[in-house]
Amino acid sequence: MNPQRTPRLGLIVNPIAGMGGRVGLKGTDGDELLRLAVARGAVPMAESRAALCLEAFLKGAEGRPFELHVGPGAMGERVAERYGLGVVVAGRGALPPPSSVRTTAEDTRRTARNMADTGVDLLLFAGGDGTARDICVALGRDRLVLGIPAGVKIHSAVYASSPAAAGFLAAATLFGDTSVIREKLAEVMDIDENAYRSGVLRAKLFGYLRIPYERRRVQGLKAGSGTPEAAAQAEIAAAVAETISAGPETLWLIGAGTTTKAVTDALGLSGTLLGVDACLGGSLVALDLSERDILALIAQQSDPKKIKILLTPIGGQGFLFGRGNQQFSPDVIRAVGRENLMILATPDKLHTLRGAPLLADTGDPSLDLELEGYYRIVSSYGGFTVYPLAAAGQ
């Protein structure tokens, strides 16, 4: 944040996000579906969600000055007008007329890039998983953004828990005690909407966005202290790296995520963030594996008992299998065995689950049931948490 100038907030509304939900359509990706949704009487939800967020933001801003940069028309301009807010409209002209809700993915991306160029300090976007993907494509991991939940069903961890929460957090980020706000990378999920509509949730980890979160504000407690997420991941990674180094003959199948990436980093290896990598004898033998590649590696492994899967649940959701790591198919999981799953999760990640179990949705309901039970999760250096896993269908 640049203290020399008025803080800048960006707001992009994806007006069509959430329209499918009320009329029984899961998502609005694609023109035909959108027409169908409108025909069924769908009304734009995202704008009212954005309004709730703005109300909370204004409360939190307490009259302090800020610049609001919005998308044109239904993409933000219109909702800002409700509050009589003077706005800077990003990239008008190249975009559809203000009344149109027929925006496209490219409109979202272009507006986001435009706002990034004008230097917004925080970009709020109202939408769903598809919107998060568009922001991710447009901005990568370096810009500070935050999602206002407005989609049908959101699997990405980049969204605040409610529109009001997004508004308060945005105000704290722009005006608050800056020592309170921390940044972290959170998951953006890619859900196959076609499959989802036919009742199958197929998701992969699409990427990461940088979001703000509120650190414990008050210091001076009598004991204990919060560990920043990156340090907590490094601590886990140090412990796991020792285990991996101690067992060079074991084939380690390392799943997606920042926690597992910290492990390959700790080993001095350059693993992928989003794919499954294989580690054997102290080096990475293959990157970004498909299910078939994994099965081939398993078949080659001389001692089939010495295979381990290293993985971490999706934050806020708790999915261990079936979101972002379909490469770990039922065949792969069965071949490796549940006793060879090594699950990593920082304490904060577990706390975000609020006591809900980890979830398995492997695509094979009977395997999901077999996987149920308690696991010893690596949660710090020398520290473990015993935590339940349940079949997602339950």
Partner 1 sequence: MSDTFTHPYIPNSDPVIQRWMMDSIGIEDIEELFACIPESLRFRGKMNLPEPLLSEAALRRRVMGRLNKNRTCEEALSFLGGGCWQHQVPAVCDEVNRRSEFLTAYAGEPYEDHGRFQALFEYESLMAELLETDVVNVPTNDGSQAAATALRMACRATGRDEVLVAGSTQPDRFRIVRNYLRPDIRVTRFGFDRTTGLLDLKDLKSKVSDKVAAVFFENPSFLGCVETQGREIAEAIHAAGGLLVVFADPSSLGVLTPPSRYGADLSCGDIQPLGIHMSFGGGRGGYIASADEERLVQEYPSRLFGIAPTEKGEWGFGDVAWERTSFAKRENGKEFVGTAAALWGITAGVYLALMGPKGMRELGEGIMQRARYLAALMDKIPGVAAPRLSAVPFKEFVVNFDGTGLSVKEINRRLLDRNIFGGQDLSADFPELGQSALYCTTEVHSKADLDRLASELASCLKG
Partner 2 sequence: MKTNPKTEPRDFHQAKWDEPVIFELSTPGERGVLLPGTEPEIAALGNPWEDLPKELHRTSPPALPEMSQMRVLKHYLRLSQENLGADLNIDIGQGTCTMKYSPKINDQFATSPKLAELHPLQAPSTVQGTLEILYETEQFLKEISGLDRFCLHPGGGSQAILGIGSVIRNWVDANGMADRKDEIVTTIFSHPSNPAVAKIKGFKVITIYPDPVTGRPDMKAFMAAVNERTAALLITNPEDIGLYNPSIREMTDLVHSVGGLCSYDQANANGVLGIARAREAGFDLCFFNLHKTFSSPHGCGGPGSGVLGVQKHLVPFLPAPVVDVDDQGNYFLQYEGVDRENRIKDYYGVLPAIVRAYAWMLSLGDEGLREVARVSILNNNYIFRKILRIPGADAPFAAGEHRMEQVRYSWQGLKDATGCGVADVQNRIFDFGMHIWTSHEPWIVPEPFTIEPTESYSKDELDEYVAVLEQIVREAHENPDILKKAPHRSTIHHVDHDVLEDPKRWAITWRAYNRKYRGYFEAR
Binding site for partner 2 (CB under 8 A): 56, 59-60, 62, 162, 164-165, 167-168, 171, 177-179, 216-219, 221-226, 347-348, 350-351, 354-356, 373-374, 376, 379-388
Q: Which is nearer to partner 2, 59 or 305 (CB)?
A: 59
Size of the site for partner 1 (CB under 8 A): 19
Instruction: Establish if 175 lies at the interface with partner 1 (CB under 8 A).
Output: no
Position among 63, 86, 93, 223 found at the interface with partner 1 (CB under 8 A) = 223
Instruction: Establish if 363 lies at the interface with partner 1 (CB under 8 A).
Output: no
Element (H, E) at 311: strand 307-311
- The answer to whether 183 touches 212, Cβ cutoff 8 Å, is yes
Please state whether beta strands 319-321 and 283-286 pair in parallel, antiparallel, or not at all (unpaired).
unpaired
Choose among 122, 113, 95: nearest CA to 15.
Answer: 95
Indicate which of partner 2, partner 1, none lies near residue 350 (CB less than 5 to 8 Å, by partner kind): partner 2
Q: Which is nearer to partner 1, 341 or 344 (CB)?
A: 344
User: Minimum distance between the CB of residue 162 and partner 2, rounded to whole angstroms?
Assistant: 7
Indicate which of partner 1, partner 2, none lies near residue 47 (CB less than 5 to 8 Å, by partner kind): none
Site for partner 1 in 247-266 (CB under 8 A): 266
> Measured between alpha carbons, how far is 194 from 334 in angstroms, rounded to an integer?
28
- The answer to whether 310 touches 263, Cβ cutoff 8 Å, is yes
The first and second tokens of residue 312, run together, are 């971490």
Neighbours of 100 (CB within 10 A): 14
The runs of H, that is alpha helices, within the chain are 19-22, 31-39, 46-61, 77-82, 105-118, 129-139, 163-175, 193-197, 229-246, 258-266, 291-300, 330-336, 347-351, 365-371
The first and second tokens of residue 33, run together, are 């579906």
Instruction: Establish if 382 lies at the interface with partner 1 (CB under 8 A).
Output: yes
Position among 77, 107, 187, 235 found at the interface with partner 1 (CB under 8 A) = 235
Instruction: Establish if 220 lies at the interface with partner 1 (CB under 8 A).
Output: yes
Site for partner 1 in 256-315 (CB under 8 A): 266
User: Minimum distance between the CB of residue 161 and partner 2, rounded to whole angstroms?
Assistant: 9
User: Minimum distance between the CB of residue 208 and partner 1, rounded to whole angstroms?
Assistant: 22
At 327 the three-state DSSP class reads coil
User: Minimum distance between the CB of residue 177 and partner 1, rounded to whole angstroms?
Assistant: 10
Residues 6+ apart with CB under 8 A from 51: 79, 82, 163
Residues that bind partner 1 (CB under 8 A): 218-223, 225-228, 231, 234-235, 238, 266, 380-383
